[in-house]
Structure 1
Amino acid sequence: MSGALVAIVLGLGWTISSQPTIASQASGTTAPPVPVAEVVVRRMAATARFTGHLEASHVVDIVPRVGGLLLSASVPEGGLVERGDVLFRIDPTPFAIRVAQARAGLDRAVALAEQAEREHARLALLSDSGTASRKALDAAMTDRARTAADVLAAKAALAEAELLNSYTEIRAPISGVADRIRIQPGNQVSAARGDVLTRILSTEALFVTFHIDEASFARLGPRGLADLRVEVDVAAEHGDAREGVLDFGGAEFDRSTGTLRLRAVVDNRDGRLKPGMFVRVLLPLTEASDAVLVAESAIHTAPGGRYVLVTDGTGTVVQKPVQIGAVEDGLRVVTDGLTAGERVILKGLVQPGMVVDPQPVSMPATHAGRKGDAS
């Protein structure tokens, strides 16, 4: 009996003692503290990110302009070459012989032309005195003209022979990076076949080729593509972003993919980028304007969409639906639903309608996302 009475008294005491706590929570005197941060407002443009690849701005296949035995190769495979550097040598012996023959032909043509000139002068004097016929003088004039033309032809033949002889030294037509040697010395090479000896790629400036979808293109509006600046970074390594300038846009969309081919030029004088690498291209779609950004931890997902929790002037939790955009320096862009000055709850087990004790903190940025990534 006494045990039951003690239990009743203790239970009553617990009930009585608990009532002030419930009442105090209802009155808001013990509102839970939660970290809140004011939204970040930053002037920026709406962007879209695309995957592209790098191409050399100038590619030259090195082919022989004359055929013959390949004597030597001095190509620094994978290294830099300057315009005018000798890369290959073809046996010059047959071409040197042709030069000697052409030079002898020129000497012979000059000698005959000089003889014809003297003969014409002699007959002209005789014709004036009446001791030479007009026919003989006409023949001398014709011979003088013919031999003069022969001299010109011989000079052209010599110039051609010397030019072909010069082609036995194959020089770099541009400065750039040399590819591997494809035909080794000791082999016969042919100009007629178009044998590729190596390739030179100009890489001080690289082309960035990527494709934009119709929706993103439409957002560009009347600005179009002229001189748009893009940001390029290597797909395999974040942190090597550099600026590029659009220099080409395709004339029409590809109907099979619904995309338009674009090309930008990016500086690569440091040589850190290579043709063929995949890159990410950040393209500004709109003019810069004030944008609202929040930490990823402040954004929640429900069946109806994404939302954030904010506090009003009384500390009451309010749920606000939002639309989100890209990531900018670790913060998520909120394209609709928030305005400057609002404070979002960063974490805590709170529900709309609760009264909380806001604890102001700085907006934390995360490094998990990349600039321009959309969710």
Structure 2
Amino acid sequence: MRLGKSCNVNGSHNVINARYWIIHTMRLGFLVCLLVGCSQPTAGPEEVPPPSVSVSRPIQREVAEWDEYTGRFEAVETVEVRARVGGYLEKVNFKDGSLVKKGDLLFVIDPRPYKAALGRAQGELARAQARRDLAKNELARARRLFEKRVISEEAFDTRDKNLREAEAAVQAAQAAVEEARLNLEFTEVRAPISGRISRQLVTEGNLVNDNIGMSTLLTTIVSIDPIYVYFEVDEQAYLRHGARRRTGEQGTLQSAAIPVFVGLADEEGFPHEGRLDFLDNRFDPAVGTIRARAVVDNPDGLLTPGLFARVKLPGGEKVPAVLVDDKAILTDQDRKYVYVLDAENRAQRRDIKLGRMSEGLRIVTEGLSADDVVVVYGVQKIFFPGMAVIPQFIDMGAPPPPPPGPKLNAGNEPPPADRTREPNA
């Protein structure tokens, strides 16, 4: 029994030793493999070259100062065509929205009642004239009899007064005839001005009236050429350019002929030229502006009353300015900025302040000088300030360079051109 127990103990001990050596051997093998793997070189990621961007130096030149405003076109003449006599509308003699000339026949109101009234007035005039002639004859006879002392002075005076009364009746009858003739003329409603007519507000067969203050509105006409544009000038601009607005020794606004340039909402620039002809006599204290008006020639009728207008009012003398392409300007909330290159060709952010447009370029009032190198195309390739780039100089305002074409076969590639130099360098 003792011998059997001793054998079991020795067998268990041998099993434990074998397991220990197996685990130890595996650990050594893993350590050797790890050391061997770390000693072998590994391939790292390839270095990405800096992106290529198009850059240019800002343009510095003298530009004329001006102020831009918004306004509305208004007709020089606007007429509401109303009935001056009552009656049934017999005829409409124009097409809606057409151009009419002064004196053109527009409407015809039934003239028959007014022809009858004219005939009646002419009859009354003839009767009054006959009574006047009779009174003249009676006065002549009375004068001869009075000289012979056949009739009294009182009878002579009566004949004289009868003649005066007859002459007054003739004048009244003549006025009635003239009134009836005018009413007959008013049955033909004619264009009071030349321009573009609106639609007919009353159709044929309707009854129109001529009550004072309530006469029937038939249509409207607005003049076309020339045309007014009204706009509001702020107080600062008024004070800045006030010397050119004053009257007195410098002459009136009309004689000064201050130029004004106007453009529509869908037009590039300000292609229509006019002149300032009116400035109001006081500022509106509620908004701090004063109303101004310019008159613009409109021979083709393109400028229509009521249209929105962009107005450019030139200021004083030319001043030096720095200009860049709008495509180089980026926006960060309420800030405007561009990327400029430092001496190591790294893109650095530069906050700027902008002015108006001038000949397709944007005026920069603060933040740039003519010596800076500005990134124009490829700003989307710059992920963070300080990023290195490869500059390719172009002219400011030039279109973007064409994308690189497919590579040529090996051995047939032309020598690369030096595109990093400034144009005309």
TM-score by length of 1: 0.77
Q: How far apart, in 2, do the equivalents of 1:164 and 1:34 lie? A: 79
- Partner of residue 289, structure 1: 319
Q: For residue 299 of structure 1, report the CA deviation from its aligned partner.
A: 4.6
- The verdict on how the C-alpha distance between 1:285 and 1:306 changes in structure 2, with shifts beyond 3 A counting, is farther
- Partner of residue 362, structure 1: 395
2:373 to 331, 341, 344: 344
Whether the aligned pair in 2 keeps the contact of 1:56 and 1:275 (CA below 8 Å) is: yes
Q: For residue 115 of structure 1, report the CA deviation from its aligned partner.
A: 1.2
- Partner of residue 234, structure 1: 264
- The verdict on how the C-alpha distance between 1:2 and 1:338 changes in structure 2, with shifts beyond 3 A counting, is closer
Whether the aligned pair in 2 keeps the contact of 1:38 and 1:362 (CA below 8 Å) is: no
Q: For residue 206 of structure 1, report the CA deviation from its aligned partner.
A: 2.1
Alignment of 1:273-312 (within 5 A): 273-299=303-329, 306=337, 309=340
- The verdict on how the C-alpha distance between 1:134 and 1:165 changes in structure 2, with shifts beyond 3 A counting, is same
Which 10-residue stretch deviates more, 196-205 or 275-284? 275-284
Structure 1's unaligned 5+ residue stretches are 12-31, 367-375
Whether the aligned pair in 1 keeps the contact of 2:58 and 2:374 (CA below 8 Å) is: no
2:68 is aligned with 1:55: no
Deviations 1:151-174 (A, max 9, x none): 111111111111111111111100
- Partner of residue 122, structure 1: 141
Counterpart of 2:217 in 1: which secondary structure? coil
Q: For residue 252 of structure 1, report the CA deviation from its aligned partner.
A: 3.6
Q: For residue 306 of structure 1, report the CA deviation from its aligned partner.
A: 4.0
Counterpart AA for 2:297 = D
Q: How far apart, in 1, do the equivalents of 2:160 and 2:274 lie? A: 69
Q: How far apart, in 1, do the equivalents of 2:111 and 2:36 lie? A: 125
- The verdict on how the C-alpha distance between 1:173 and 1:124 changes in structure 2, with shifts beyond 3 A counting, is same
For the aligned residue pairs, the C-alpha RMSD in angstroms reads: 3.7
Counterpart AA for 1:288 = K
Which 10-residue stretch deviates more, 253-262 or 113-122? 253-262
Counterpart of 1:247 in 2: which secondary structure? strand
Alignment of 1:206-225 (within 5 A): 206-224=227-245
- The verdict on how the C-alpha distance between 1:102 and 1:2 changes in structure 2, with shifts beyond 3 A counting, is closer
Higher alpha-carbon Rg? 2
- The verdict on how the C-alpha distance between 1:116 and 1:65 changes in structure 2, with shifts beyond 3 A counting, is same
Deviations 1:205-234 (A, max 9, x none): 222223333344343343337454322211
Counterpart of 2:127 in 1: which secondary structure? helix
User: Could you tell me the percent identity over the aligned residues?
Assistant: 37
Q: For residue 311 of structure 1, report the CA deviation from its aligned partner.
A: 7.7
- The verdict on how the C-alpha distance between 1:148 and 1:100 changes in structure 2, with shifts beyond 3 A counting, is same
Counterpart of 2:123 in 1: which secondary structure? helix
Q: How far apart, in 1, do the equivalents of 2:54 and 2:172 lie? A: 97
TM-score by length of 2: 0.69
1:37 to 39, 57, 70: 57
Counterpart of 1:204 in 2: which secondary structure? coil
Whether the aligned pair in 2 keeps the contact of 1:297 and 1:346 (CA below 8 Å) is: no
- The verdict on how the C-alpha distance between 1:132 and 1:65 changes in structure 2, with shifts beyond 3 A counting, is same
Counterpart of 2:154 in 1: which secondary structure? helix
- Partner of residue 269, structure 1: 299
